[in-house]
Structure 1
Amino acid sequence: MFRKELHRFLLTAQLADPAQFQSSMFSQSVTGPNNEADYETWRSNVGLLLKDTRQSDLHKSQKVLESLLSPAIDIVKHLTPETPPSVYLEILDSAFSTVEDGDDLFAKYLNTMQDSGEKPSAYLQRLQVMLNATLRRGGVSASEFDRQLLRQFVRGCWDNTLISELQLEQKKQNPPTFAELLLLLRTAEDRRASKASRMKHHLSASKPKVSSHYQGICAQYGEECITLQSPPDSSEIQDLKRQIADLQTQLTRVTQKNGGKNQSKPEAKPKAPTPAIPKSHPPTPHSQPERNTTSKRPKPWYCFRCGEDGHIKPQCDSEPNPSLVATKGRLLKEKQQAWDAVNSTSEPEHF
């Protein structure tokens, strides 16, 4: 009999007010739905229901039962429909409400800041739920509720533009209620979203030169912006790649040239002592060719990958040719041995 009356009452209530408690279910189940509210959020919504003097206690008790799911509803199954809603809440508070005292809850409340990506209105609602729990535990007085709520919102909200726009700093002495402040925030958020949407629609067809200004505006309002800058031209990319390849080739040649100069010279026979040259006379010109003989030694000006001339292995895109590389290496070695034999046995002329 009780279930039939309850079912009929729930249908009537949903037709009269379909949004009431449909988005605020509570079960305390580990595997509950993702959109299920935590106990403090559910308790805050029930508190608003209990303050409504136009509804009877029976109606309030039925709405409390409607918003409960198993296993939370199992705790109050033994109660009758005529039980006052305050008794329901007393039992549920003893099972699911926080056990921290008011001072600890207030300290935690003061350390609650706006999360990344969280809207200011959602942050305010989260603060209101925490402050309600603190109020029930005696951590804050009812007369200080609105002032503490506005104070922490201004302190923990990172959107300074919104705070200045709504002049919230100037309202600390005469703070608005939670409902008034929430309406202000949601109105400002809706106005910003509408403006950002209009900017996207207008600037998406604009020239690329306004893209930097558009991106700066969207960053201020925290909205996603479309990219209006055109991608780099493919010819520019190819030109940059060619320049990098040329620089790498030049660097390799300089490195090889310096390496050849630093090679040890062949051991020469002892020279006869030469007479001292006066400091006023410049050195004889025959000494210059002797210093440059090692630079004429044959070097491997071919690719170690394909064996072709004109490039080096890091810039080679051809197929490997080990036989050609080995042949050129053998010829180079023979030329170097012949050059070493000639230059190591030649006697420099003495004057």
Structure 2
Amino acid sequence: MSLDSEFKAELEKFLADQGKTLLDLTESLSDSSSTNASPPIEPKHDTVPETVVKHIVSAPSSHRRRLRLFSGRRPVPNGEADFDNWRRQTQLIVDADDLSESEKISRLTEALLPPASNVVWALGKGVSAKDSLEGLEKAFGTTSDGEELYLLFTECYQASEEFPSDYLLRLQDLLIRAQENDGINAGRMDKARVHQFSRGCLYNDALLHTLALGKRLPPPDFVSLLHEVRQEEQKEKEKEVKRKSGQKGKGCHEQVVPQETDRVAELHEMMVALQHQISSLMPSGSAAAQARPEATNQRSNGRQRGPRKPAYRLICYNCGKDGHRMDECNGETNAVLVQQKIAARNQPAGNAEGRQ
């Protein structure tokens, strides 16, 4: 693609975005050159795009914003607007004093697609922008009267998991439609909006308590109320983030507990193994202990030399203390003390076996 053809394609694309054509550009350039007394200066080839763009941008008509497309089809196609929103934008153009009638009708018709464009065409040639908008209102506007629309407003409630700000926006749309069809006076809109929001916001009692809308006179307007609601939503969102971060920290702390439980179970298995080893060493001592009762009974009537210590004392293999068994222990596990007691028992201590 040559430089000239590439520039022409880019220029046509730019003009299309601005609602212009090459013919409009030619007429605009010719008008500008006729009013300029100075001789024209031949621009260099590399400065032509910049010169043309500056001229188009500086033109007063290039600052206008194009209306969104509207066809009247249902469901509303992608890229188009529904009639209520489109009509409100168009009404601003129709009521503008700085636009000529031809400019108004031009901007209105260029945003229409069939079947909406057929309605304006059926109104006849030379129809005004105001009459065109009224014709479209009859064809695609609501058929409900103001009282019915206001009733819809009073029966609008917050949906589950719907943010209060989104609910307020839905309320505002219904309230505007009711007001446009004489369902409510403009002076009563703030009071009606606050009343229905307090009544229909079903899932955010804390927010309503904070705003205390019923005690505020005069009631806040729509913009102020929406701003306050969004502020409270942001505060609640920050609290929720902090709560979640706190739960994550608690979860990390609780992850240590299973490791400690595994360690206790491991120590318990070690205690059981040690108990089995000790039980295997017990028979010889038990036999000696069973052989002595007769001699002990024979000397029971004689002189006693004092209390005789048992050969093996009871040791708890859980806490390591004397006087009770492991199945009777309520204390904490002390593996170090248990091992010390077992080691001390297995070592010979003086005349532990008694006299022969």
**TM-score category of the 2 structures, normalised to the smaller one:** 0.3 to 0.5
**Whose helix proportion is higher, 1 or 2?**
2
Larger radius of gyration: 2
Tell me the TM-score normalised to structure 2 length: 0.45
Tell me the TM-score normalised to structure 1 length: 0.46
